[in-house]
Structure 1
Amino acid sequence: MQFDAEWLLLALAPVFLACIGWEVWHLARTRPGAALYSWPDTLCNAALALMHQGADKLAWLVAIPVYAWVYHHWRIVNWQPGWAAWLTLFVAQDLLYYVFHRASHRVRWLWAAHVVHHSSGRLNLSTAFRQSLMYPVAGMWVFWIPLAVLGFTPMQIVGIVLVNLAFQFFVHTQAIGKLGWLEYVINTPSMHRVHHARNERYIDRNYAGVLAIWDRLFGSYVEEDAHEPPVYGIVKPLDSYNPLKASFHEWIAMARDCARMTDSRTRLAALFAPPDWCARHDALAMQRATDSAVTENNTEGDLGSRKT
């Protein structure tokens, strides 16, 4: 179980770049004019990746001591090196990733960071680099604490998280169709295209990291339908290639929504309820105001008729 994921990812960097080059060539040959890549979008993705990496390095300085403390004081298993330990770590982290990923779509505080990954109107391999520097602030690292309780060291935790994310690079593509029986086993490009779509039937589906089982087990799986191609991006399009705007636009919107709420309950909801809570809250308030106005007008009419 001793491996250095940092060196693994460094070794994979040219593989990632080669895959992007192949995808650009393949899509230009098979889907000419589709404009699945653009320089502004790709450069924004690259800038976001660099910002994310810098924030990630700083976050590990805080998270690793926390994992170490939990490992030394609260671990419940002492693992012997071997396949059993590695497999347990892999499956446990992948389940926790599913929990984190699903929460990131249903809790606005987490969505404020995760929305960066979904804010491009394109889906290609470079989209995998489109990550948020605000994940440490949102609390992504907290989701891996149970791994320390299970008896895994901080370096093992960091390593398996990075390996999981490295695998996910390969599912961000439109160049590969469905993969037969593998669709039942692992996260595939087809599964992940659904996840990145903003079609109503596809929104908030297919949260898998590596294993496909979690979505099927917890009812979040939807199959890609050839009759309804995915439309990529977010419900309110970002319409910007500025990496700073991509990183902070939802945090700013969330802060404004929180500030305009009138009591502590609604302020907390603006921060931690589902991302669409404020829109539904506003629509309900408008409906109540409309109903009240209609009722008042009807009452005035009734009173007027009695006076005559």
Structure 2
Amino acid sequence: MMPQLPVLGLIATPVVLAAIAIEWWAVRKGRINGRYCARDAATSISMCAGNIMINSALAFLSLGGLALAAHWRVIDLGVSLTTCVTGYILHDFLYYWKHRAGHRMRWFWAEHVTHHSSQHYNLTTALRQPWTGPLTGLLFTGIPMVLLGFPVVIVLGASSVHLAYQLWIHTEAIGKLPAWVEAIFVTPSHHRVHHATNPEYLDSNYGGTLIIWDRLFGSFVPEAADEATRYGIVRPLRTHNPLVVAYHGFGGLFADFWRDGLKPHHWARRAVNPPGWSPDGDHQRSDELKAEWRARMAAGLAADEDELIQEDSAPEAMKVAAE
């Protein structure tokens, strides 16, 4: 994540809390589709609180990095309606690739898995954010934009609006929208697919605001009307402990490094390959899970959810800490 404009944060907080309260009430009353688990929702809210505190404490790194990049910019584009709009579109494009890397490179997945760890899908899921600081967003979106000449205020503004957009797409209450909206923008339907563990949905729909990037780069998958959606991660996390939720991805990665022994070339390959990659060739990446699902479908067999769900993804030391 990138630091956001403080004023937008102050405005957004009561709006977000009110929206969550309304959704929770409507789900409980059966007025809308959705599921809520009090412990799961509390964990997501705690993850958001921790994320805000850590990002605020480390904001000097982001702002310092952006200020340093501004000294090396190729041009000063200034602040105008044109640069605001083009800056937002560029931010969304860069976010697409950042998000895609977050799923296709295990080092970045170790951070991003936090957001996907809930087995529920409601507005609180949007708040389940990592505790690893703002450096990933700075690297992928902030510095490139500043180097290209966009003022820091536009970068921060684009990041703020982009983050705000993410809230409403984390819900089961909104079905498919008009075709032209679904064709251009990321909608709740698109993002439900992104959060699903159904094998046919894995690693798809990375867009933040515009779904056109997924359509252009071959990662778009539509939501099937007759398919029950399962949320979370393939190796489910069976704890609500915020510390485990925050760091189990890195805990699992370093546990694999330990099992590899003193083989830095294996560590490097694990870090840059997709989750599930193994140096012995016994991969359990999303590619293998999709291939297995397609083979079962071709053979006329129903996909067995239990065969795709492995052991708890947290390493043993973290499981003990959660008990």
**Structure-1-length-normalised TM-score:** 0.85
Matches within 5 A, 1:188-207: 188-207=187-206
Report the CA distance between 1:55 and its aligned residue.
1.5
Matches within 5 A, 1:184-223: 184-223=183-222
CA–CA distance in 2 between the matches of 1:154 and 1:116? Answer: 28
CA–CA distance in 2 between the matches of 1:247 and 1:280? Answer: 28
- The verdict on how the C-alpha distance between 1:30 and 1:239 changes in structure 2, with shifts beyond 3 A counting, is same
> 1:278 maps to what in 2?
278
Matched, 1:120 2:104: no
CA–CA distance in 2 between the matches of 1:77 and 1:27? Answer: 50
- Three-state SS of the structure 1 residue aligned to 2:200 is coil
Report the CA distance between 1:5 and its aligned residue.
2.6
CA–CA distance in 1 between the matches of 2:66 and 2:269? Answer: 30
> 1:45 maps to what in 2?
44
The code of the aligned residue for 1:42 comes to A
- The verdict on how the C-alpha distance between 1:279 and 1:122 changes in structure 2, with shifts beyond 3 A counting, is farther
Cα deviation, 1:6-29, whole Å, max 9, x if unaligned, reads: 211211222112211221222223
- The verdict on how the C-alpha distance between 1:280 and 1:14 changes in structure 2, with shifts beyond 3 A counting, is farther
The answer to whether the 8 A contact 1:26-1:175 is kept is no
CA–CA distance in 2 between the matches of 1:45 and 1:257? Answer: 27
CA–CA distance in 2 between the matches of 1:129 and 1:41? Answer: 11
Point out the structure with max Rg over C-alpha: 1
> 2:304 maps to what in 1?
none
> 1:109 maps to what in 2?
107
- Three-state SS of the structure 2 residue aligned to 1:258 is helix
Report the CA distance between 1:282 and its aligned residue.
4.2
> 2:137 maps to what in 1?
140
Cα deviation, 1:240-280, whole Å, max 9, x if unaligned, reads: 11100101111111001112225332121122211110387
Percent of paired sites with the same residue: 38
> 2:8 maps to what in 1?
8
Structure 1 stretches lacking a partner, 5+ long: 285-308
> 2:255 maps to what in 1?
256
> 1:83 maps to what in 2?
81
- The verdict on how the C-alpha distance between 1:77 and 1:35 changes in structure 2, with shifts beyond 3 A counting, is closer
> 1:231 maps to what in 2?
230
The answer to whether the 8 A contact 2:84-2:154 is kept is no
How many residues align? The count is 278
The code of the aligned residue for 1:251 comes to F
Cα deviation, 1:21-74, whole Å, max 9, x if unaligned, reads: 221222223379x8711110111011100111112113321121121111122x
> 1:305 maps to what in 2?
none
The code of the aligned residue for 1:238 comes to L
**Structure-2-length-normalised TM-score:** 0.81
Higher helix proportion (structure 1 or 2): 1
- Three-state SS of the structure 1 residue aligned to 2:68 is helix
CA–CA distance in 2 between the matches of 1:170 and 1:109? Answer: 28
Structure 2 stretches lacking a partner, 5+ long: 285-323
Matched, 1:158 2:156: yes
The answer to whether the 8 A contact 1:68-1:153 is kept is no
> 2:296 maps to what in 1?
none
CA–CA distance in 1 between the matches of 2:22 and 2:99? Answer: 29
CA–CA distance in 2 between the matches of 1:172 and 1:280? Answer: 37
CA–CA distance in 2 between the matches of 1:228 and 1:93? Answer: 33
CA–CA distance in 2 between the matches of 1:64 and 1:226? Answer: 44
For structure 1, which segment, 171-180 or 252-261, has the greater mean C-alpha deviation from structure 2 after superposition?
A: 252-261
The answer to whether the 8 A contact 1:5-1:163 is kept is no
The answer to whether the 8 A contact 1:114-1:135 is kept is no
The code of the aligned residue for 2:7 comes to W
